[in-house]
Structure 1
């Protein structure tokens, strides 16, 4: 893309991510990517959701459709600036503008010549680059001054910041809902957050510079790849010729061996034939002599002599008749070998395969850009902490309250509702073998108990409703993602169970509601115990914690990223609306900050905590932490 400069100052040359042109009525999505309204309208035609073409984030369209999306007020509509510099194509006689330059030919090319250049076999390997046009007399667009935000309740401009609620308020709000909260002028917090965002922006710029460097390296790798492929093609052709010659030599050698063997067999058998003929000749002479003497005895002997010698003479004649010589000749016979099989020839000749990929852990973590995150830049501020007599095993937070799962030898097992200050709100239900709390509101709980996931309604008419029953859930940890999908991992079977519960309860288990996804061998080798937590990020990745590994998967449960730290034990996970992922490290008593792609960014400073077991976030935005000593700590963060 051509880049315009004016007096070495940057000009806003960001284009629509769909049409790659200047914005027309730009729309700002929740993922902070900007597109033209006509482009978005065409993209979501006939759909209820919008998938961002750049980051693949899924956005649900409002009731008004595209018209209900937020407009981006900081970009002026219009066409891109025109250049007063014209570069003519050097490949053809037309006076078309040149758009690219062939380094090998040292010639400027227009669109048609550039297209022909890329298609022709002779020029296909040439290296081309986009022509950068230098523009002058560019008048930057005027920036619109945004209107001040006002309170929806009192219609008064925001002037204060409530530290307890982590939100902007007006002067009237202080006297009502935020009467006892700690507040300060909004200007201070605004400036602090602007500084944090500027710091993050500077890192993004450095990341863009790093991407440019990687792009140049990829071009260098591309050229080397072309060169390596050409060398291998020549090597294969040479190998083919050598293989043909080798095969022909082997064939000739085998033919000579077989011909020599035929000569040897022929020589042996001819000798046998000659010997047999000699034996027959001797036998003939023997019989002729016997015949002559016998005939003389019969004709000339007297009666007594004939009678006395009859028995012996007759026996001699009988034996001579019975004696017989057999001819044994073994003529050579050529036995054809096995037919030349394609697979056998391929094994002998060789075959092409991809080179070995680098180790996935090193590949994923070799280029991580540490983005100064809003949550990690400032230490969290403690709102409240409380200690429980019973052992805290799990908690489900709803608004500013929490359902806490207790295990008490003396008073029995139960699930109890507590306030933000830790006080008992008087709402307690039997545990009933509940192992996990999957979802919680003030009046409703989704819990897992052995192979059953059920909904418990708390109130005047408390009741229980079975959501789904699955034998494969036994001995696993189940987690809720996408609001209507329950996921569990089987260590023994080495596959994920995914149950769709978006229908009438109890769910009927069949091919449409239950998916069993086998995992690749590498993932099965990493996950040797049942995952402590599984969650889904804003970028639609699946993150799970298992011992000293944080494993990020795509939505097809294929490995996307792996973070491993020896000596750690990663447990609880929670996310926030900004895409941050907080994961507690039980052994090091730290909270690790990851982005939604599973890249480790840095540690979050939280003082005075040890052996952190679990972490979650309430709807107000506060972070709840639980440690092994049955303490619950509540923090707010910027």
Structure 2
């Protein structure tokens, strides 16, 4: 891949994912933005608000540091954009009295929340865990109909198809008839290593034991954002929100196919553009 003077590749999956992740997280507390306001007393709201410098900060961080607010990215002072009341006053209303919501980030957060909720609700239907191989299997859907399970791949189209859709798309074109339907191999289904298989792709999951108890770290603490063994979880994270690590993996595994399709499509467009530029 071609890189510019800054050393950043024109198309870098990790670079794109990192920037999308940072866009939807508060740069100060690093918590994900929310799209709804928590009315319950004691609950924190993390809606994104725009500062005068153009960067964002979550609602809780703005309100907590309102008397001497600074941007967590550029460290610039962030006086109120809307001068309705003195933010240092104990009679001040809420953050919306002084700053504007970032509706673009708010919309992205709302969409992401919907897809994550949908993925969680359907994960048991689309994912299965093999107890012997410990491999989470995600069925890849046909790129054309979106309903049937893809039984093969067209490398020239860079897309997955069921056999019926492949024939329907390719049989009526002299050029497309030359494309080859490659059936999805079952090799990854027999792997004994622990990981996630999405179509023909296999992602190895990191595995580690607790150095203190010599037990696998298979419990995830949502409050501390770390994995622990069952003993550490019961001792040090008793009052925290915890979930089995396999549930967390299943939740995010369901997002991989859509991300791969979008990234591969963008990569194909870039490659086609480079070929056209070379011809011109």
TM over 0.5: no
Structure having greater relative contact order (Cα 8 Å, sep ≥ 6): 2
Q: Which has the larger radius of gyration?
A: 1
User: Hey, which of these two has a bigger chunk of helix by percent?
Assistant: 2
